[in-house]
Structure 1
Amino acid sequence: MIVGAPVAGCSDTNFVGRPDLQLVEGDVLPAPTREDLTVPSRPYVIGPSDQLVIDVYGLPELSRALTVDLSGQIALPLAGQIGASGLTATELSDVIAKRLSQGFVRDPRVTVGIAVAANQIVTVDGAVSQPGAYPVVGRMSLLRVIARASGTTEFARETHVVVFRRSGGREYATLYDLRAIRLGMYRDPEIYTNDVIVVGESRARRVFKDVLASSALITTPLVALIR
């Protein structure tokens, strides 16, 4: 019996092996609502090499375009050196306004725009057609990022795709099976800035070597803390 298929000749609308799936009436896929089409925003965190546009209302001599240096700093007249890395545009606006008010600018109104987001990238390596670093645009999922790398190669082992991520000072690795995601067995995971995705290479195999000894479908992501 095929996992994920309803039982033949049975009125039960549940799927064998997938109690979370249930048949619904009709044969037409519902259209997305307005809320479904709106991607929830994710705060952008400024980093080195990002290009900013800073506007101080009514003071064009203080307004300018600049690039965050490699140490995460920017420099403005009357405001001095400011650590921009790790702040959102709104937070940086507040910091600049506070500095300017201390420098005898009365009630400064500051806006910060991100002209070029050079800091937000994800790295795709291994058995993909075009390995490399790709910009993170809005919310991105594993399948979408691999598609940006022009997909997996002909002989790629899609059974083991590992996402490496640093969180809270620790490095994690999570094993995914692209086949299971495409079958809808679990959600296509969200990918974040600085994630490293490795498709079917030795580094991925070393982390999960015991699991990967079998070619069985991995029906749930496996998370490992790298010591």
Structure 2
Amino acid sequence: MLRAFIDRSRSSAQCVSALALIALSTGVISGCAGKRGGPVPYNRADFVAPDLREIKSSAAHRLRPGDVVTITVFQADSFSGDRTVDATGRIQMPLIGAVDAEGKTSPELQAILTAKLASSYLRAPSVQVVIKEAKSEKVTVDGSVLQPGIYEIEGDMTLLQAVALARGPNPDANPKRVVIFRTIKGERQAAAFDLTTIRTGLEPDPSVYGDDIIVVDGSATRQQFRDVISSLPLLSVFTRF
């Protein structure tokens, strides 16, 4: 009886020790996964707003209030210049007056202006419409978030707000390592941020801009995180670090 009791006690002690070791190991692993680190530096002072970008998909972009278009009428400077789509969805043109622009593409608006000018003011006018600034831009949120995707942003937005668009970090996430990729001075660059210190006010909540790529680190997405970095020109990403 005593021998069996001792054996059972030893077995129980081994089980407790094994469980403690597992718990300790899990804590160490999760602790490592929840730390700052990696090749991307944190809170870079030179991680400024991105370059002004020409809108490559302007032919497909449908205008909305707040968008700015540059109108050029050949040999008619009085009709040329930048026009902003107002809250009613119109632009104001000299002599012509208000022209409906909301929902139109730049080629469609160009055709409308050409027809209006030809009907009353110019013979065979040559009109060009280029989107200078699009009010609605998009940001990509990827990695260990509940709903990765591409999201439209309007106006000013911060990193915390962008992550919130993706429903926030998932249980696997490491909120201490979130990287933003951005084009600055013609180079693709990156900076890391710590959501935990941002949430507590210890560090500022950085602004995000259209075309930014935000990747939230996490053990299940560690390879994906490395793939995003490796997909960018390493020299242009890390030369400034």
Normalising by the residue count of structure 1, what TM-score does the alignment of the two structures yield? 0.50
Consecutive aligned runs of 4 or more in structure 1 exceeding 4 Å deviation: 205-208
In structure 1, the partner of 2:99 is: 63
Kindly indicate whether residue 196 of structure 2 is the aligned counterpart of residue 196 of structure 1: no
Give the Å deviation of 1:157. Answer: 1.5
2-structure distance, mates of 1:205, 1:180? 24
In structure 1, the partner of 2:187 is: 170
In structure 1, the partner of 2:204 is: 187
1-structure distance, mates of 2:110, 2:198? 43
Give the Å deviation of 1:57. Answer: 5.4
Assess if the C-alpha contact under 8 Å between 1:170 and 1:225 holds in 2.
Answer: yes
Q: 2:171 aligns with which of 136, 154, 158?
A: 154
Q: Which amino acid aligns with 1:125?
A: D
Assess if the C-alpha contact under 8 Å between 1:170 and 1:226 holds in 2.
Answer: no
For residues 140-195 of structure 1, the C-alpha deviation after alignment (integer angstroms, 9 at most, x for no partner) is: 00001111111111111112111000112100011111112123221010101110
Q: Considering only CA atoms, is the larger Rg found in Structure 1 or Structure 2?
A: 2
Q: 1:155 to 1:203 in 2, by over 3 A?
A: closer
Helix, strand or coil for the counterpart of 1:225? helix
Kindly indicate whether residue 119 of structure 2 is the aligned counterpart of residue 82 of structure 1: no
Q: 1:168 to 1:74 in 2, by over 3 A?
A: farther
Unaligned runs of 5+ in 2: 1-51, 65-89, 118-124, 230-235
Task: Give the paired residue count.
Answer: 137
Normalising by the residue count of structure 2, what TM-score does the alignment of the two structures yield? 0.47
- RMSD of aligned alpha carbons: 3.3
Unaligned runs of 5+ in 1: 1-43, 89-113, 209-223
Q: Report percent identity of matched pairs.
A: 32
Question: Which protein, 1 or 2, shows the higher relative CO under an 8 Å CA cutoff with sep ≥ 6?
Answer: 2
Q: 1:204 to 1:184 in 2, by over 3 A?
A: farther
Q: 2:63 aligns with which of 45, 51, 54?
A: 51
